[in-house]
Amino acid sequence: MLSLSISITPEAIGSIESDLAKTLYEVNPLHRVEALARGLGFSTYASMLAASKSSPGSTAVFDWKAADECLKTHGFTVPAEPFFVAIGRVAIQQLLVREAQLTTDGMGLNPLHRPLTGKREDRKEYAARFQRCREEFKGDHEVKQFLRALAFVTNIRRVETINRTLSSYRLKHNAERFSSTYPDGTRLGPDYVSNGALIAAAIHAGFQYWKHPGTTEVAFNMSRESIGTLYVETQEAEKRDKERRLAAGPGLASSKEHQPSAPL
């Protein structure tokens, strides 16, 4: 399940509109923005714009079913992914404003190794790489990693205290192997998830975090039981998929089998 929310602002609406104009150019622009408004809980595009100006920062959760139904009434059938990528990009942009240290690496950056020269990265180089990693977070591939991680973490129960033995980097390996789809059934995962994408998704989902000193990793107030359940479900899904591929013949059998990380 993908529970994707954003703060409704003029900038957010403008960003989503710009994305959808590129990816869903075949859809009538008026119907496209109307579907966006319906998906974000507004009756019309005009009411969404008015709310973005009168109550900037109010939160809306995207409802794909409402957007899809709106488009179909006008004769358009489109995939869910363009909407989720456009809205996910805005969610990440808003997270980057709130979390000043968030990068694709995690909270901060991993050290840059230069084995050939042995030269250490200076402050100017670090600052440039830091900004570059934050900008890269807004790319399509990174947004999809965020969505993939979000589909995973929304299945984890929150607990009162942060377990400092939990590792976002270890957890991201489990998220990579989690089978997930967009609401229209299109495949989303399993696939690669960065440490930063996992952290961003967990914060977006409402988890609290604690940063491990000297690393880019964080710990969350996540239930170990929930994580263990997902681990078992992932193993079972991979086993079923392997059996299906073997039954279909060697041509569909994967040459490389992936195993989920052990429970945290």
Per mean pLDDT, which range of 2-11, 84-93, 151-160, 238-247 is the poorest?
Answer: 238-247
pLDDT band at 73 (very low <50, low <70, confident <90, very high): very high
Instruction: Name which of 132, 140, 201, 143 is nearest 172 in CA terms.
Output: 201
Given a cut of 60, whether residue 264 has pLDDT beyond it is no
Helical (H) or strand (E) element with 202: helix 195-204
CB 40 within 8 A of CB 12: no
pLDDT band at 233 (very low <50, low <70, confident <90, very high): confident
Instruction: Name which of 194, 237, 5 is nearest 102 in CA terms.
Output: 194
What whole-number distance in Å separates Cα of residue 94 and Cα of residue 71? 27
Measured in whole angstroms, how far is the alpha carbon of residue 42 from the centre of its chain? 24
Q: Is 214 left (phi over 0), alpha (psi -120 to 50) or beta?
A: left
Domain boundaries, the chain: 5-92, 141-247
Indicate the pTM of the whole model.
Answer: 0.89
Measured in whole angstroms, how far is the alpha carbon of residue 252 from the centre of its chain? 29
Instruction: Name which of 123, 262, 237, 139 is nearest 180 in CA terms.
Output: 237
CB 181 within 8 A of CB 147: no
Given a cut of 70, whether residue 118 has pLDDT beyond it is no
14-29 tens-digit pLDDT: 999 999 999 999 999 9
At which residue do the structure tokens 């009168």 appear? 54
Helical (H) or strand (E) element with 6: strand 5-7
190-224 tens-digit pLDDT: 999 999 999 999 999 999 999 999 999 999 999 99
pLDDT band at 256 (very low <50, low <70, confident <90, very high): very low
CB 190 within 8 A of CB 176: yes
Given a cut of 60, whether residue 260 has pLDDT beyond it is no
pLDDT for the residue numbered 19: 97
Terminal Cα distance for the chain, rounded = 22
Measured in whole angstroms, how far is the alpha carbon of residue 63 from the centre of its chain? 16
